[in-house]
């Protein structure tokens, strides 16, 4: 069961929704349907479905996609999979977001391997960010990734994102200068406050150009950041990274559970 709540409005042309589920199980069922519905829509409209994953707890919330009916009903051949951020570690390392998604999702569904865009783990953080950005630019040229006419940045069909207890999303951390990057599509960090320290990450202009974002947040440990992000009394200074995720022209849906919204006044 989900209850729909109001979320503060985004920019003109963007929609925000808050879904609150009784259990993580219910959330996972709804998130699978949301993703499968978008897959069908974009496969029909564009012949491709560009999906951006985060690491962390998000991947477990996608587990229902690997089960019936979605295992057989989704047209996995249309999927192109990217990471909103990645740790600069070998792909078989326990800290790798690629490995997390491979073990929890990608090894269980028939997405063509050439359509899964992992970072080059032989490169430095700076080199891996450049290399990933070059890969994205090529895919824009090929028409696999759409471009946003209004922002001039790539427009992914959906980003399935998590948020840390400190309000970070991707590898964009509170108070870090990377949150202000407005030229690059992909950048790097060598002093991440959450280990491991070296990572690459999409920038806000790319995140905010998305057509759809699902922000998947569960657990009482994140209630403070959820309250700050969703309370009506927003202040423009001192924004958490999650508050800087404001779509130019898209639909932003919070998938939460009751502990995560426990500090909201009107839940
Ligand atoms: O380090 C990271 O953390 C965030 C949040 O992770 P969670 O386990 O608290 O959901 C994640 O979204 C990001 O991709 C990851 O690199």
Domain range annotation of the chain: 16-261
Q: What is the mean pLDDT of residues 240-267?
A: 94
Tokens of 87: 């740790």
Task: State the distance from the centre of ligand 1 to the C-alpha of 56, rounded, in angstroms.
Answer: 4
Please identify, by atom number, the ligand 1 atom nearest to the C-alpha of residue 216: 10
Tokens of 211: 């057509």
Looking at residue 14, what is its pLDDT? 74
Q: How far is CA 263 from CA 145, 149, 183, in A?
A: 38, 38, 36
Looking at residue 72, what is its pLDDT? 97
Quote the radius of gyration of the chain (alpha carbons, Å).
Answer: 17
Q: Residue 86 and residue 186: Cα distance in Å, rounded?
A: 11
**What residues are paired with 159 via a beta bridge?**
52, 213
Looking at residue 39, what is its pLDDT? 98
Tokens of 51: 């999906």
**Closest C-alpha residue for ligand 1 atom 8:** 56
Give per-residue pLDDT as tens, 60-73.
Answer: 999 999 999 999 99
Please identify, by atom number, the ligand 1 atom nearest to the C-alpha of residue 58: 10
Looking at residue 232, what is its pLDDT? 72
Asked whether the CA dihedral 230, 167, 10, 79 is positive or negative, the reply is negative
Q: Residue 135 and residue 132: Cα distance in Å, rounded?
A: 5
* Site of tokens 């990645």: 86
Q: Residue 159 and residue 77: Cα distance in Å, rounded?
A: 18
**Closest C-alpha residue for ligand 1 atom 9:** 164
Tokens of 221: 């440990």
Q: What is the mean pLDDT of residues 97-118?
A: 98
Q: Residue 254 and residue 94: Cα distance in Å, rounded?
A: 28
Looking at residue 265, what is its pLDDT? 81
Pocket test for ligand 1, best of 55, 194, 224 (most atoms within 8 A of CB): 55
Question: Nearest 5°: CA angle at 257, between 37 and 264?
Answer: 120
Looking at residue 6, what is its pLDDT? 55
The domain 16-261: what is its CATH number? 3.40.50.1360
β-pairing, 2-5 vs 15-21, is: antiparallel
How many of the other CB atoms lie within 10 Å of CB of 187? 22
Task: State the distance from the centre of ligand 1 to the C-alpha of 142, rounded, in angstroms.
Answer: 30
Tell me: pLDDT of 180 over 60. yes
* pLDDT-above-70 percentage for the chain: 93
User: Are the C-beta atoms of 84 and 161 separated by less than 8 Å?
Assistant: yes
Question: Nearest 5°: CA angle at 131, between 126 and 136?
Answer: 130
Give per-residue pLDDT as tens, 208-241.
Answer: 999 999 999 999 999 999 999 998 766 667 899 9
Q: Which residues line ligand 1 (CB under 6 A)?
A: 54-58, 85, 97, 162-164, 171, 194
Please identify, by atom number, the ligand 1 atom nearest to the C-alpha of residue 163: 5
Q: Which residues are CB-neighbours of 233 under 8 A, at least 6 positions away? A: none
At 58 the three-state DSSP class reads: helix
Question: Nearest 5°: CA angle at 171, between 164 and 80?
Answer: 105
Q: What is the mean pLDDT of residues 106-130?
A: 98
**Closest C-alpha residue for ligand 1 atom 12:** 162
Pocket test for ligand 1, best of 24, 56, 186 (most atoms within 8 A of CB): 56
Q: What's the chain's average pLDDT?
A: 95
Task: State the distance from the centre of ligand 1 to the C-alpha of 96, rounded, in angstroms.
Answer: 11
Looking at residue 5, what is its pLDDT? 64
Task: State the distance from the centre of ligand 1 to the C-alpha of 45, rounded, in angstroms.
Answer: 31
Q: Residue 116 and residue 20: Cα distance in Å, rounded?
A: 31
ipTM of the prediction greater than 0.85, yes or no? yes
Pocket test for ligand 1, best of 58, 101, 178 (most atoms within 8 A of CB): 58
């Amino acid at each position: 069961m989900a209850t729909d709540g109001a979320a503060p409005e985004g920019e003109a042309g963007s929609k925000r929704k808050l879904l609150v589920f009784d259990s993580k199980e219910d959330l996972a069922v709804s998130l699978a349907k949301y993703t499968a519905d978008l897959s069908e829509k974009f496969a029909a409209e564009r012949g491709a479905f560009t999906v951006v994953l985060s690491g962390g707890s998000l991947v477990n919330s996608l587990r229902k996609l690997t089960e019936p009916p979605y295992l057989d009903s989704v047209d996995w051949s249309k999927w192109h999979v990217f990471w909103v951020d990645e740790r600069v570690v070998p792909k078989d390392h326990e800290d790798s977001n690629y490995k997390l998604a491979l073990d929890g999702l990608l090894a269980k569904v028939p997405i063509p391997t050439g359509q899964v865009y992992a970072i080059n783990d032989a490169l430095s953080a700076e080199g891996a960010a450049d290399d990933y950005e070059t890969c994205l630019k090529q895919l824009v040229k090929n028409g696999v990734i759409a471009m946003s006419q209004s922002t001039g940045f790539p427009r992914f069909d959906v980003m399935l994102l998590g948020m840390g207890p400190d309000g970070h999303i991707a590898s964009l951390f509170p108070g870090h200068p990377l949150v202000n990057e407005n030229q690059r599509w992909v950048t790097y960090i060598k002093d991440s406050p959450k280990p491991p320290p070296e990572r690459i990450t999409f920038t806000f202009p790319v995140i905010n150009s998305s057509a759809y974002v699902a922000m998947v947040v569960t657990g009482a440990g994140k209630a403070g950041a959820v309250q700050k992000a969703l309370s009506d009394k927003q202040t423009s200074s001192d924004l958490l990274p999650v508050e800087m995720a404001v779509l130019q022209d898209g639909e932003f849906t919070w998938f939460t559970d009751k502990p995560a919204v426990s500090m909201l006044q009107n839940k």
